Amino acid sequence: MTKAEWVEAVAKAADLSKAKAQEVIDVTFDEVSKAIKKDKKFLVPGFGSFVVTKRKARKGRNPKTGEEIKIKASKSVRFKPAKSLKDAV
């Protein structure tokens, strides 16, 4: 599903204009992002959780040259689906 298809589905289901549905979706993702930055997690019961994870610095290889390189430590967001979502798929 593309974002445009999602906007159309939300607009139809909630009896909104496409512009208003787009705004609702954008605000939702902005708030989710803020919550993840602040609390390092965001939980949606019955759907899943988004959690910030840390990766240690490590060594890797440049696939083109085979040269060993250093990969810096980083943070990422991990999604873990809820059991009900797993069962539905």
The enclosing H or E element of 34 equals helix 18-39
Residue 18 CA, chain-centre distance (Å), reads 23
What's the fold here for domain 49-89? HU Protein; Chain A (4.10.520)
What digits encode the pLDDT tens for the residues 8-30? 999 999 999 999 999 999 999 99
pLDDT at 26: 96
Positions of the chain with pLDDT under 70: none
Strand 68-71 with 58-61, pairing: antiparallel
- Give the integer Cα–Cα distance in Å for 82 and 25: 21
